[in-house]
Structure 1
C-alpha cells in the first residue's frame, strides 16, 4: 500500500502543469465542490468555463478564479434544460476552441422518506441530478469525438453505493449516475477506444455554505445527524483536479470509505443496522400515522431540499 501511495505521489509530481491551458467546463460552479474545482483548476493554469443558474454567484467565482491567474468564461445555464446545456458546450468551443474536461457536477440534495416523497420534488430531483448529467454527457461527447480526446467526470456520491435512512430518492439518482458512467466508460474507452476518458466522483458529505440555509440541521430538529465523515470542498476539489492530471476511473477522496463499501457488500444486514447509527435523518413526525400521502399538504413532515452543487 505504501508503494502504491508513493507511485501515485510520483505520478502527480510528474503531472504538475499538465492542466495548463486545458479547457475545463464545470456545471454547478457557483458553490461547493463546483466552485472549489473551478478555483483549483484555475490555480493550476486551466481555462475554465463556469455554469450555474445563479449569475451573481458565478461572477464572484469567476473573479476569484481570475485572481488566481485563470482565464474564465461565465455561461449561465440550467442543466435541466437540454438546449441550455448544448449552448454551454457550444459557447465553450467557440470561445476556447476545444473542451478537455466536462465536469458534470450540478445537483441537489433531498431528504424525505421513500413512502412520503413528494412527486413534484422527486421529478425535479431527477431532472437535475440525472437528466442534467446525461445532457452534459450527450452534449460534450460529440465534441470530444471530433477532437479525439477529452475527459468526462460525473459527480455521483458514496450514497449511490450506500444509502442512509430518508435519503432513498437522492441515493437513487446518484446510483443512476454511477451506473451510467460505468457503461459510458466501457463504451468510449474499451469498446470504441475513442480516446475519451470517463471518471465518476464519489464524495462523502461535503461541508458547504448550503448547510447554513437548512435550519433544521443547525437546530438539530429534522435533519442530518452529521456523525459520518464530512469533507471540505477544497479537499474534494484537489482529488478531482488530480484525476484530471493523472487519470483515475473512480475518484474517492475519502479513501477509508472503501472499507465500509466492502463491509456493506459482504454483510448487508449488519451494515444496514450500522448505517442507522451513523446517520439518521429522521423527523419526529415520521412515525405519526395521522396523515399520509405523497402530496405536500398531506405529508406528515416537510422534506429538506438542499439546492446547489455540493455535498455527497
Structure 2
C-alpha cells in the first residue's frame, strides 16, 4: 500500500502548494481604474473566464466589447458590468465564422474608435482517447480553439497597426505544455495556440516593432461551465471531472487584467502550473507517470473531483457582483 501511494506524493505536494497560493483571495479591495479609456474585446465572454475577464476589465475602467454565440448570456454580462459602472457592448459572434469575427472588430471600432486589447478566449473541450477521437469532433474543436483565435488575430492586428499599438492576448493552457489522459486533442489545440502566439509576438514585437504586445495565458484547471458542457466520450454522457488544484475564473481574470496593465509574454495564473511544465521538461518520464493520475474522464483518486462539472448549481461561478463591486465566491 505504501509503495502504491508514493508516486502520488509529488502531485499532492503540488496540489497543496497551489491551494496555499490561492488562499485569502475571497475578499476584494476597492478596484483602481488603470484601464480607464481602453477598449477591450473578449471572445467567449458569456461565461467562465471570458465573463470574469469582462467584469474585471469593466471594474478597472475599460470599455468592454463582449462576444459569444449566446446573445441572452451576453446581455446578462452587460447588465452585470453596468452595475460596476462599466461601459459594455454585446456583439453575438460565432468565432468559427471569419466574417462574424471581422464584424465584431468592426463593431468595436465603430462604437469606441479603436481596439486596445483583443482577448481571444472562446474555446471548447471534449474527453476521449486520442486513438478513438472522431475526425468530425476533432475538426470542430480545432475550428473553435485554433481557427477562432487565428480569425481574432487577423481581424484585430490590422486595426492595431493603424493605431500604432495594441495588445493581443490568446488563451492557451498548461495542457498545451503537459498532457493529461483523455484530453489530448484539447491539449493539442492549446499547444498550437501557444506556439502561434510565440511566433506572433516575435513577428510583431521583435521583427517588425509594431508596438503591439502579445501574451499567452496558460491556466490549469479552472472551475467554469466548460466542464459541464464537455462531451465525455470516454466515460459516456456529458461533463468532465475537474482535477486539482482548481482555481476560480476570477483568479485567472485578475491575472489577465494585470497583464493588460503590465504586458508580458507568458501568464501562468497558478504558479504551480509552471512547475509542472518545468518538471515535464526535465523529467518527462517521471512527470508522465505522475500526471497520468490527473483523470478528467472519471473519478479515480483524490486528485479528481467526485462529481462531473463545475458545481455551479450549488456554488456560483466567481466573481459575483454585489453592491456595485466584484466579490470572489
2:265 equivalent to 1:242: no
> Is the Cα–Cα contact under 8 Å of residues 241 and 309 in structure 2 kept in the other structure?
no
Shift of residue 223, structure 1, vs aligned partner:
6.6
Of 288, 291, 295, 1:279 maps to 295
> Is the Cα–Cα contact under 8 Å of residues 181 and 294 in structure 2 kept in the other structure?
no
Give the equivalent residue in structure 2 for 1:297: none
Of 155, 166, 181, 1:139 maps to 155
Shift of residue 214, structure 1, vs aligned partner:
6.1
Q: Which runs of 5+ in 1 are unaligned?
A: 1-14, 285-303
Residues 167-187 of structure 1 show CA distances to partners (whole Å, capped at 9, x for unaligned) of 111111000000000000000
Partner Cα distance (2:52, 2:107) in 1: 22
Give the equivalent residue in structure 1 for 2:216: 200
Taking a change above 3 Å as real, the CA distance of residues 51 and 251 of structure 1, as seen in their structure-2 partners, is same
Give the equivalent residue in structure 1 for 2:324: none
Partner Cα distance (1:253, 1:148) in 2: 29
> Is the Cα–Cα contact under 8 Å of residues 104 and 154 in structure 1 kept in the other structure?
yes
Of 124, 128, 131, 2:144 maps to 128
Shift of residue 210, structure 1, vs aligned partner:
4.1
Shift of residue 222, structure 1, vs aligned partner:
8.7
Of 106, 109, 117, 1:101 maps to 117
Partner Cα distance (2:294, 2:45) in 1: 30
Residues 248-279 of structure 1 show CA distances to partners (whole Å, capped at 9, x for unaligned) of 21111001122211110011111111111233
> Is the Cα–Cα contact under 8 Å of residues 126 and 231 in structure 2 kept in the other structure?
no
Residues 114-148 of structure 1 show CA distances to partners (whole Å, capped at 9, x for unaligned) of 11101111110010000000000000000000000
Of 99, 114, 120, 1:83 maps to 99
Q: Which has the higher contact order (CA 8 A, sep 6+)?
A: 1
Give the equivalent residue in structure 2 for 1:257: 273
Of 33, 37, 41, 1:21 maps to 37
Taking a change above 3 Å as real, the CA distance of residues 135 and 215 of structure 1, as seen in their structure-2 partners, is closer
Partner Cα distance (1:38, 1:268) in 2: 37
2:160 equivalent to 1:159: no
Residues 51-103 of structure 1 show CA distances to partners (whole Å, capped at 9, x for unaligned) of 00000000000100111111111100000000000000011001100000000
Taking a change above 3 Å as real, the CA distance of residues 275 and 35 of structure 1, as seen in their structure-2 partners, is same
Partner Cα distance (1:280, 1:272) in 2: 15
2:85 equivalent to 1:69: yes
Count how many residue pairs are aligned between Structure 1 and Structure 2: 274
Give the equivalent residue in structure 1 for 2:187: 171
TM-score when normalising by structure 2: 0.78
> Is the Cα–Cα contact under 8 Å of residues 64 and 87 in structure 2 kept in the other structure?
yes
Q: CA RMSD in A?
A: 2.7
**Residue aligned with 1:21, SS:** coil
Give the equivalent residue in structure 2 for 1:59: 75
**Residue aligned with 1:35, SS:** helix
Of 97, 102, 113, 2:129 maps to 113
TM-score when normalising by structure 1: 0.82
> Is the Cα–Cα contact under 8 Å of residues 222 and 282 in structure 1 kept in the other structure?
no
**Residue aligned with 2:92, SS:** coil
